[in-house]
Amino acid sequence: MTSSPTGGSAPEEGRYGEDLFAPEHPREAERIDAAALVFDPVTTRRLRALGAGPGSRCLEAGAGTGTVARWLLDEAGVDEVVALDRDTARLNALAGPRLRVITADLTDEALRPGGFDLIHARFVLMHLPQRRRIVTRLAKWLNPGGWLVLGDALEVPDPTDSTSAYRRTMDAMWQALRSTIGTDISSVPAYPHFLREEGLRDVAAELVGPPLVAGSPLALFWAETWRRMRPALEETGLVDAVVIDEALAYLASPRLAELGPGMAMAWGRRG
């Protein structure tokens, strides 16, 4: 089933998919899947540990290409998954009796998708300036005992390196993401606190940093992200075409040795 639960128009803020990462780009699904391939094992291990399984109704918020939604349905065997995204072109093919696809904007305050035993949002809130208010609303959609699980990027940059092409390009990327679509990873370490402020219990968090190795899906993800953002990277004034080319070559080279951005996951449950 595909539906729009409110029929209301989306707010103006939050331009992911418009100013950057257009969903119709021929390599966008591949780019999202490259990151999913790396982080799905970590995510699904955590969701299973939190009890995702038969008897649960789940919300995958900002579901992307639906890899986690599919896992919840096929591997964890949950009763129902609601896969919600602003762009559902890649999710519609997955819709079925136990998987409902909702085309909606998470920033839409009128959104009421129902109650859930598990709500998961990965690499979504970091892109939305309204992230703190959205956490409040996601927490309200939890059934008693239900888990809210948030996953977003976290950087552990080398403090002694401000000049390498890799560092300068990565810094330009975060700055460009912030100025174009409002991405901000600075509050990711505060997610456990946000969950506690919402009255959730058993709050905990972990940080995972998969190896950034030349030719790996993670290196391909960053390379494609930088290529797609080239004009925005140069507009920051932090890098030029030569630096970006050097950084791209480094990502593909056996010399690559970086503690790349990882993912912080935080979870808590309604009492």
Residues that bind ligand SAM (CB under 6 A): 14, 16-17, 32, 36, 62-64, 67, 85-87, 105-107, 122-124, 127-128
The answer to whether the beta carbons of residues 102 and 69 sit under 8 Å apart is no
Least separation in angstroms between residue 60's CB and ligand SAM is 7
The answer to whether the beta carbons of residues 266 and 147 sit under 8 Å apart is no
Residue nearest to ligand SAM (CB): 64
Least separation in angstroms between residue 217's CB and ligand SAM is 12
Residue type, 29: A
Alpha carbons within 13 angstroms on the beta-carbon side of residue 108 total 20
Please identify, using beta-carbon distances, which residue of 66 and 250 lies nearer to ligand SAM.
66
Taking phi first (over 0 means left), then psi (-120 to 50 degrees means alpha), and beta for anything else, what does residue 17 get? left
Please identify, using beta-carbon distances, which residue of 174 and 250 lies nearer to ligand SAM.
174
Least separation in angstroms between residue 111's CB and ligand SAM is 9
Least separation in angstroms between residue 185's CB and ligand SAM is 12
Place of tokens 């899906």: 217
Least separation in angstroms between residue 76's CB and ligand SAM is 16
Least separation in angstroms between residue 248's CB and ligand SAM is 20
Determine how many CB atoms are found less than 10 A away from the CB of residue 33. Answer: 18
Using CA atoms, how far apart are residues 131 and 60, in angstroms rounded to an integer?
A: 16
Alpha carbons within 13 angstroms on the beta-carbon side of residue 152 total 23
Using only C-alpha atoms, what is the Rg of the chain? Answer: 18
Please identify, using beta-carbon distances, which residue of 105 and 258 lies nearer to ligand SAM.
105
For residues 69-106, one letter each, b for 16 or more C-beta atoms within 10 angstroms of the residue's C-beta and e for the rest, the string is bbbbbeebebebbbbbbbbbebbeebbeeebbbbbbbb
Please identify, using beta-carbon distances, which residue of 130 and 164 lies nearer to ligand SAM.
130
Least separation in angstroms between residue 166's CB and ligand SAM is 21
- Enumerate residues 6+ apart whose C-beta is below 8 A from 213: 219, 256
The answer to whether the beta carbons of residues 73 and 44 sit under 8 Å apart is no
